Structure 1
């Protein structure tokens, strides 16, 4: 079905840039880059999938069953995304908030051409029907000069969907739900957006990725819609019979002063509120994984470990389980979706309250981008720290959020949102200078 080639590269970073520029000719592109971030459970340094042979695109109605059928029939590599609003397929919920982006609820495609990076080696898989294009493609990729294109100099006027005073009112409303015992924790998100705006998607992604260097960076193109993501978070991975989830809960800023930076890490590790946020979501993830796990196999590998990124320090836990070899991979995702770190506890109550208080349909924000392998393994990130773009509508959006618990201070939550939004805002505002 596919022809495999092994290509050695002297400079993998330069080849990555050339390859991404070459990929822009296609309507269907998924690029996943670890930025050589040293973390466990990483199989590839980077992956590129382009040029759809087959695809599935649907709204939330029966979406997971349709994906299950598609994945079972293709028995091949498929790449794509799951939006947050697939919650409506999992539970009797709805999404009626404003949607300026208009992504389909689910999209996957079977690529004709695949590139897997590991060290200085690229493993390339071409469908038999296009393997005669390999040599021509490789020459074209190598001829690309990996210099930057000029950004489109539109003035990006970023607006707030929720203004500061309204934000405080909504957080206090959520705290009232917590104090009543309706929920223990919920992730509340707000959108920043720009209308009548053109951006250069690839250059915007390169700048965002260059600022953040995260382990789950994504460039996704689906016709006229783009995800430009500097995500630090893995949602779910399956390798063999092992399933891994790595929720992030707990964030603090970085400092250029090394001593102060270490102090910020120590304070985050000891912060009672941040630890309680993380542990509540770990309990939720353990419960979600237990739905498909072999009895007694769910374990917490790391609890509240501090990971350092270019922009922030994060508190991350790693939860693992074992599944039977005949467990359908889509069922594992469906039983844990949406991810606990972006919902709350109890999950369904939290999602209902989120929907009532937020102003924007989340769509692909707080959903997931990733792939299934022919054997049914998979790996998906969480779509956060992301600029989303509808080229036809000239609509640019990024959202940020945080976990609200009984100990939350609305002002501190607002300030944390601004820290998380810093890189996206900087990239977009730099374009008009």
Structure 2
């Protein structure tokens, strides 16, 4: 085991817009932005830079989050778990398109309380002097805050990897497998990929995503030649280490927003009344109840909210809230190992759904994995990496890949499911290739 950061300094600072602080830092190696829209589903934003410890690589399938039990990756650690690492027990080894697990420790971090309109300046270190120095570095970032410069469309291309017809054929196959009793639901995705212009980088995509499309779990993170830009609305896990409360908020059910308020309200009402979408959501709620029970006190799992409509800039979603009380001694590593990958983007039964997904899709990489933060008290906040693009720096520049999926059930219509993926990818497509409004 390695040495943790046991000395901590926390100072309060007047409110500064977190996006402006990120813009001042730029999108260089090590820059981290976990940005909330400040709504009920996302109170906190976090900004960091200059990680002092980084780990990138494969994991042991029997204990994929074992490294989080090392004190060196305690509070202030950010991690990205790729979907394929969690799916491997069902799919076997496949082509590696992204590291299983990326971790970085941030001794200096800014945490923004949108509800309290204040900033917590956090410094950690082996000694108190180290922690003070880290807090000073973080405080300096506030002084560099500026409004972001929005640049033209950063992507040269946006190409579907599979045709609409090919995707619809995959949906039809899954429907037939469901009818045969092989499974109840599987989340099947479409992928798009391309290259950025020579003068563009992933940070440009992130800044454009933040304009009028902010979400509860927006994110930018760059480690070396890999970067991530996310506009996720979905909470995978929240763990309060002080109280033991665990919360998951799976999303299942989607309708596109409409410009006309009357039509938009009708779309939301149609989603809420849809028997198909309710059934789809309920299956995943049951799956999440089962997953959470593996790390919780017996009898403590509850469904607090069932079938709530949440409205985001481009879509309405059907969201449920499942809670539990952690068993004695449970850590973020235990909780992630009990539940990863997220049930909402696999299906039911989970193991069989992942096998079916692998039959129709190449490896997903970070998409539908999770981006998480180990918090100051040892708690955890983890998002589901939907509405997410991953980037890799090659000799010819930045390449990207992004996906959108739909939950396929017995009465799914292939054309309608394809249209749902179009609605879900619209914000990222606009951020990559559309002109500025």
Determine the structure 1 residue equivalent to 2:29. Answer: 27
Distance in 2 of aligned mates of 1:154 and 1:230: 17
Determine the structure 2 residue equivalent to 1:94. Answer: 92
Is 1:122 the counterpart of 2:124 in the alignment?
no
Specify which of 97, 100, 104 is matched with residue 105 of structure 1. 100
Q: When the two structures are superposed, what TM-score results if normalisation uses the length of structure 1?
A: 0.90
Counterpart secondary structure, 1:391: strand
Specify which of 332, 347, 352 is matched with residue 335 of structure 2. 332
Distance in 2 of aligned mates of 1:161 and 1:262: 34
How far does residue 23 in structure 1 lie from its aligned partner after superposition?
3.0
Distance in 1 of aligned mates of 2:136 and 2:65: 39
Distance in 2 of aligned mates of 1:50 and 1:235: 24
Determine the structure 1 residue equivalent to 2:318. Answer: 315
Given that 1:58 and 1:105 are in contact with CA atoms closer than 8 Å, whether structure 2 keeps it comes out as yes
Determine the structure 1 residue equivalent to 2:39. Answer: 37
Given that 2:154 and 2:432 are in contact with CA atoms closer than 8 Å, whether structure 1 keeps it comes out as no
Per-residue displacement from partner, 1:305-330 (whole Å, max 9, x unpaired)? 11111111100000011112312321
Distance in 2 of aligned mates of 1:167 and 1:221: 31
Determine the structure 2 residue equivalent to 1:6. Answer: 12
Specify which of 299, 303, 315 is matched with residue 300 of structure 1. 303
Q: When the two structures are superposed, what TM-score results if normalisation uses the length of structure 2?
A: 0.89
Q: How many residues align?
A: 419
Given that 2:48 and 2:138 are in contact with CA atoms closer than 8 Å, whether structure 1 keeps it comes out as no
How far does residue 352 in structure 1 lie from its aligned partner after superposition?
0.4
Per-residue displacement from partner, 1:319-377 (whole Å, max 9, x unpaired)? 0111123123211111111111000001111100100111x311110001121124331
Counterpart secondary structure, 1:28: coil
Given that 1:402 and 1:416 are in contact with CA atoms closer than 8 Å, whether structure 2 keeps it comes out as yes
Q: Residues 238 and 407 from structure 1, CA distance in 2 versus in 1: closer, same or farther, beyond 3 angstroms?
A: same
Distance in 2 of aligned mates of 1:145 and 1:327: 41
Counterpart secondary structure, 1:335: helix
Given that 2:372 and 2:381 are in contact with CA atoms closer than 8 Å, whether structure 1 keeps it comes out as yes
Given that 1:237 and 1:380 are in contact with CA atoms closer than 8 Å, whether structure 2 keeps it comes out as yes
How far does residue 61 in structure 1 lie from its aligned partner after superposition?
2.7
Determine the structure 2 residue equivalent to 1:53. Answer: 52
Distance in 2 of aligned mates of 1:8 and 1:376: 25
Deviates more, 1:198-207 or 1:106-115: 198-207
Distance in 2 of aligned mates of 1:136 and 1:88: 39
Given that 1:54 and 1:110 are in contact with CA atoms closer than 8 Å, whether structure 2 keeps it comes out as yes
Unaligned runs of 5+ in 1: none
How far does residue 74 in structure 1 lie from its aligned partner after superposition?
4.3
Given that 2:237 and 2:383 are in contact with CA atoms closer than 8 Å, whether structure 1 keeps it comes out as yes
Given that 2:108 and 2:138 are in contact with CA atoms closer than 8 Å, whether structure 1 keeps it comes out as no
CA RMSD of aligned residues (A): 2.3
Per-residue displacement from partner, 1:142-177 (whole Å, max 9, x unpaired)? 3454240545x6652111111112112211111121
Given that 1:49 and 1:113 are in contact with CA atoms closer than 8 Å, whether structure 2 keeps it comes out as yes
Deviates more, 1:226-235 or 1:189-198: 189-198
Q: Residues 49 and 105 from structure 1, CA distance in 2 versus in 1: closer, same or farther, beyond 3 angstroms?
A: same
Distance in 1 of aligned mates of 2:197 and 2:155: 7
Q: Residues 310 and 65 from structure 1, CA distance in 2 versus in 1: closer, same or farther, beyond 3 angstroms?
A: closer
Is 1:403 the counterpart of 2:416 in the alignment?
no
Given that 1:75 and 1:375 are in contact with CA atoms closer than 8 Å, whether structure 2 keeps it comes out as no
Distance in 2 of aligned mates of 1:264 and 1:278: 17
Given that 1:56 and 1:67 are in contact with CA atoms closer than 8 Å, whether structure 2 keeps it comes out as no
Counterpart secondary structure, 1:124: strand
Distance in 1 of aligned mates of 2:326 and 2:68: 17
Q: Residues 361 and 209 from structure 1, CA distance in 2 versus in 1: closer, same or farther, beyond 3 angstroms?
A: same
Determine the structure 2 residue equivalent to 1:85. Answer: 84
Given that 2:257 and 2:264 are in contact with CA atoms closer than 8 Å, whether structure 1 keeps it comes out as yes
Q: Residues 124 and 195 from structure 1, CA distance in 2 versus in 1: closer, same or farther, beyond 3 angstroms?
A: same
How far does residue 427 in structure 1 lie from its aligned partner after superposition?
1.4
Q: Residues 26 and 164 from structure 1, CA distance in 2 versus in 1: closer, same or farther, beyond 3 angstroms?
A: closer
Q: Residues 316 and 77 from structure 1, CA distance in 2 versus in 1: closer, same or farther, beyond 3 angstroms?
A: same
How far does residue 87 in structure 1 lie from its aligned partner after superposition?
1.6
Distance in 2 of aligned mates of 1:241 and 1:323: 5
How far does residue 24 in structure 1 lie from its aligned partner after superposition?
3.2
Unaligned runs of 5+ in 2: 1-6
Determine the structure 1 residue equivalent to 2:238. Answer: 237
Given that 2:23 and 2:148 are in contact with CA atoms closer than 8 Å, whether structure 1 keeps it comes out as no
How far does residue 30 in structure 1 lie from its aligned partner after superposition?
2.5
Given that 1:291 and 1:335 are in contact with CA atoms closer than 8 Å, whether structure 2 keeps it comes out as yes
Determine the structure 2 residue equivalent to 1:161. Answer: 161
Counterpart secondary structure, 2:329: coil
Distance in 1 of aligned mates of 2:131 and 2:28: 14
Distance in 2 of aligned mates of 1:32 and 1:330: 20
How far does residue 197 in structure 1 lie from its aligned partner after superposition?
4.6
Determine the structure 1 residue equivalent to 2:373. Answer: 371
